[in-house]
Amino acid sequence: MKEKIYIGVAWPYANGSLHLGHIAGCYLPADIFARYSRMKGKDVLMVSGSDEHGTPITITAEKKKTTPQAIVDRYNKEHTENMKQFGISFDLFTRTTTK
């Protein structure tokens, strides 16, 4: 039986664009570890997603004169696209509002 490894990576607030610190600080190191573990034959599950609850989202929505839902929809889409562009190997990149 393969060794199972779960990698839970930080969930950024969906209230703004990602920056280099996000990628270099937590996503790239986790991706390197996940890829290495897969190469060693381990069963890896790497997950993350957008944190869609919290004051930062409400504040951003108020500043932009829109709803919190509009903000999280926009930035979840952007974050998902960014992860694909950087080639980060998530098995699941989801949302805290997913049912």
Q: What is the pTM (predicted TM-score) of this model?
A: 0.89
**Amino acid identity, residue 70?**
A
Return the sign of the alpha-carbon dihedral for residues 91, 96, 97, 99.
positive
pLDDT tens readout for residues 57-91: 999 999 999 999 999 999 999 999 999 999 999 99
Spell out the CATH class of 4-95: alpha beta
- How many whole angstroms from its chain centre is CA 41? 24
> How far is Cα 87 from Cα 76, in angstroms, rounded to an integer?
17
Please report, for the chain, the start and end positions of each structural domain, with discontinuous segments joined by +.
4-95
pLDDT tens readout for residues 2-52: 999 999 999 999 999 999 999 999 999 999 999 999 999 999 999 999 999
